[in-house]
Structure 1
């Protein structure tokens, strides 16, 4: 079979593959939970006895993440979006993100919302891609800033300089690939045109980058507030770094809302930062409760309401 006769992988087949990987990760995570059920149970009891004021602060930070996500999404497009529905869409997208793998739930909700606001499908997809890329760049930049400001935050291995060399090499490979492929080159050119249009407006650029920075820091703030609520005094720089590392690692596993992958990565990162295992589990439980489990039901109700009003 020649290259032109190859049958492309259909979106449905890709979805089945992603769902299969999700099932495997969730089954493995369930096995880990069963094996460490005693630790999980003690963590739940410890969370129930935590400082209420710090938990309220963590709850406020969690609610702020939806506003920041809306600000960043507005910054990714030139057109003005309806503010109330935009924030509601981000709240609904967070709930939908816990139902489908690889962020597909949030992507589908936001894509539908942007097209309902009058953007073409291509420009809506570009806006979502720009927001995702900026979010990744922000996490990397914050991690580098922490390493520069606090060199003792993590212990760098001897291979770290090699990683710094590989990053520009990987970027060069992507650029060369885009230059060789005509269709890809045209797609990238249109995407860069949209990015230039956004950055020609200082208000949009500030919203995109500022919202992404605030979104990441508020998520780390939820983790930090839960840690203080259970009486664990870890330095803030270590907690932020632990969240940055965990969220980046969880993005490699396609589970709904990072379920299982983010939990394990965050627990391991907090343990590496100096938290005892039981306290690390308690922190992950509190973070999940405030950012995922409690908003799930109202988020799905908002999703249904937006769909009924033809906003999605």
Structure 2
């Protein structure tokens, strides 16, 4: 067996696994949609007669998310990137993210763009990872702040026997942690040079206040604007929830949906967001309208234009 065959085999297995998970989620989403079709139909009709002004606010916020993503990506790189192509790349990356699972689309597009701009593969991968990490930290910080401002919104349901289940999961977690530490100690000598290079790049970024401000400011604004899109849609459909609560529910639901590697959170984000809004006291039809409106502005409407921009960038060898 050649080295190429050895490399291709794990890649095919990962592709099969991602495809299987995607199909399972799509089938589950279709089953739920069929079961709750009256609620979805009512929600769609309610969205059709929603306040157009608030929907325009949501559309504007959705458009600004690509500029914030570009700002964050520039903040993760010392070299100055071409601003026009950078924003276009984020728009295309958003569309690619809705096609490939677990954020692979956006990461691959940004990685290719940075390499086309002259960065090495290692530094490009570091920049993409730094941006993703900053986004996760910014989202967590917003959740903490909003949870403190809106106490009682995020709470775990009481389940009988939860303590015994938690104890079992604690043992599993401790075992996984020990295995990870052992593997880390074994591979530390080989990974140390790569980790040193990554840390050097991170220090260099934060040694420049403008780059650090772009990285963290863009990451915070990206998460906040997505929450604003949902807030605008809830206002458009007259959903009776405070904006701070809606933002907190969105951030928590979107963080939970990341656990399922589906393209753009298809099925997982919709279910988590609808469940979060309904559990906060929103009527089922209004919650469905809000989720449909949010997905329309952030996924379905930009999808085809984003794929067209992606094709243009590839044809012009910008990716």
With structure 2 as the length reference, what TM-score do the two structures score?
0.88
- Alpha-carbon spacing, 1:11–1:186, altered in 2? closer, same or farther (3 Å): farther
Unaligned runs of at least 5 residues, structure 2: 1-5
Corresponding residue for 1:135?
A: 135
Whether the 8 Å CA contact 1:71–1:208 is kept in 2: the answer is yes
In structure 1, the residue matched to 2:3 is: none
Backbone CA RMSD of aligned residues: 2.4
Deviation per residue, 1:77-102 (Å, 9 max, x gap): 11100000000000011111111111
Q: Assess, with a 3 A threshold, how the Cα gap between structure 1 residues 62 and 175 changes in structure 2: closer, same or farther.
A: farther
**2:230 aligned with 1:246:** no
Counterpart for residue 263 of structure 1: 270
Contact 1:234–1:275 (Cα < 8 Å) also in 2: yes
Structure 1 contact 239–270 (Cα < 8 Å) conserved? yes
Secondary structure of the equivalent of 1:274? coil
Contact residue 150 and residue 245 of structure 2 kept, 8 A: no
Q: 1:297 aligns to what SS in structure 2?
A: helix
173 and 145 in structure 1: CA distance in 2 versus 1, 3 angstrom threshold: farther
**Equivalent residue number for residue 235 of structure 1:** 242
Measured after TM superposition, the shift of residue 152 of structure 1 is 3.5
Selected match of 1:287 from 294, 297, 306:
294
Separation (CA, whole Å) in 2 of partners of 1:204 and 1:177: 34
Q: Deviations over 1:129-169 (max 9, x none)?
A: 1111111111111111122233233346799xx9xxx9xx9
Counterparts of 1:120-269 in structure 2 under 5 Å?
120-155=120-155, 178=184, 180-181=186-187, 182-269=189-276
Conserved? CA contact 2:239–2:287, under 8 Å:
no
**2:285 counterpart SS class:** helix
TM-score, normalized by length of structure 1?
Answer: 0.90
Is 1:272 equivalent to 2:279 in the alignment?
Answer: yes
Does 2:106 match 1:109? no
Q: Deviations over 1:52-100 (max 9, x none)?
A: 0000000000001000000000011111000000000000111111111
Residue pairs, 1:63-78, within 5 angstroms: 63-78=63-78
Cα displacement string for residues 244-284 of structure 1 (whole angstroms, at most 9, x for unaligned residues): 11111111101111110111111111112221111111101
Return the alpha-carbon distance in structure 2 between the equivalents of residues 62 and 223 of structure 1: 10
- 1:277/1:184 CA distance change after superposition, 3 Å: farther
- Alpha-carbon distance, 1:116 to partner: 0.3
Q: Is the 8 A contact 2:257 2:265 kept in 1?
A: yes
Q: Is the 8 A contact 1:74 1:207 kept in 2?
A: yes
Q: Deviations over 1:2-34 (max 9, x none)?
A: xxxxx8872232122111111111111111111
Cα offset for 1:178? 4.2
Q: Which moved more, 1:227-236 or 1:282-291?
A: 227-236
The structural deviation recorded for 1:177 is 5.7
SS at structure 2 position matched to 1:10: helix
- Aligned residue in 2 for 1:53: 53
Q: Take 1:157 and 1:193, find their aligned partners in 2: how far apart are those partners?
A: 44
